[in-house]
């Protein structure tokens, strides 16, 4: 979801990116990345630009609508950096949510298609 300002609370940043901001840096799963001193604003909010740059997450901007979108970690890596199926919850055609994790214990072929 795009954001309309580049200083977020720690909770907002976690919800947006999955990264927890802790004293030791930005942490996700068992990985922590040290952050520059500029990563936190004077009132304790997260400077999204500084943290995203440190994590290799590009930012796209729409000036007319005052929106920014933060891309995935990029550079020197592949789409999959491990083989554990990520959390995935999607709606069905009736609007009910389906959690991929409920299929644990079965082989799953996930086939993506499109109307186009």
Question: To the nearest whole angstrom, how small is the minimum distance from the Cβ of residue 114 to another protein?
Answer: 4
With CB under 8 A as the contact rule, the residue among 10, 33, 50, 67 that binds another protein is: 67
Residue 29 touching another protein (CB under 8 A):
no
Taking CA 47 as the corner, what is the angle to CA 60 and CA 72, rounded to the nearest 5 degrees? Answer: 40
Burial of 102 (0-12, 13-18, 19+ CB in 10 A): exposed
Question: To the nearest whole angstrom, how small is the minimum distance from the Cβ of residue 75 to another protein?
Answer: 5
Residue 105 touching another protein (CB under 8 A):
yes
């Amino acid at each position: 979801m795009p954001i309309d300002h580049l200083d977020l609370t720690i909770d907002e940043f976690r919800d947006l990116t999955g990264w927890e901001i802790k004293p030791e840096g930005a942490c996700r799963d068992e990985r922590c990345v040290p952050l520059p001193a500029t990563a936190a604003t004077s009132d304790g909010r997260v400077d999204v630009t500084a943290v995203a740059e440190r994590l290799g997450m590009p930012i796209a901007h729409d000036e007319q609508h005052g929106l920014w979108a933060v891309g995935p970690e990029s550079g020197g890596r592949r789409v999959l950096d491990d083989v554990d199926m990520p959390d995935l919850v999607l709606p069905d055609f009736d609007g009910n949510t389906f959690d991929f994790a409920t299929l644990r214990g079965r082989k799953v072929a996930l086939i993506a298609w499109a109307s186009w």
